[in-house]
Amino acid sequence: MLDKEFFTEYGEATQYEIQEVVGKGSYGVVASAVNTHTGERVAIKKINDVFENVSDATRILREIKLLRLLRHPDIDYVATRWYRAPELCGCFFSKYTPAIDIWSIGCIFAEMLTGKPLFPGKNVVQQLDLMTDLLGTPSYESIARIRNEKAKRYLNNMRKKSPIPFSQKFPNADPLAVRLLERLLAFDPKNRPSAEEIRFS
């Protein structure tokens, strides 16, 4: 039996279908996979305990930064789950935009106000549940724009939830901060402000 579960705990790996584990080394495991959207065959490497050894972590980070500077096609943007935008929780929308960073800023801002993470999900499903507990069920328009059919079905079949007013969730926050948070944490990326808009708001 292939050790496929090793690759799926990230959650968003549903974009790729793991075919087989093709190699194991001192730094990690490599699997062959197929991009379910394009049919492209790829290799995915998961690095074990990347931060356990500082010199190893530094070397790996240096390689990733170099590939990113070269705009290498194999480097994707990822984020820590608790600060991850909805569109990073299942290939929701047609493309990733700077709006994912705006969402992360909102999560960090909320944590500064309350002293604890806003969406501390243990997995992608719980992450989405926590988001919709606060924001309510996404609008039909937003759900219709989602490209991932599984995600679309999941949200359509979700129990309808009403949003919790941010003034109630953050009762001690300045009203201006509350209004900004409402914009930063819009479920649909097209409804989030740009960095320029935040700067001059």
Instruction: For 24, list phi and psi in degrees, rounded to 5.
Output: -135, 140
Which residues are paired to 32 by β-bridges?
20, 43
Strand order in the sheet with 28-35: 16-24, 28-35, 41-47
Spatial neighbors of 168 by CB under 8 A, at least 6 apart, are none
Q: Name the token pair of 87.
A: 């569109």
- Asked whether 6 and 23 are in contact (CB, 8 A), the reply is no
- Asked whether 119 and 107 are in contact (CB, 8 A), the reply is yes
Which residues are paired to 133 by β-bridges?
none
Half-sphere exposure of 163 (CA within 13 A, CB side): 10
Residue type, 25: G
Tell whether residue 46 is among the known ligand binding residues. Answer: yes
| Residue set of the binding site for ATP | 46
| Residue set of the binding site | 46
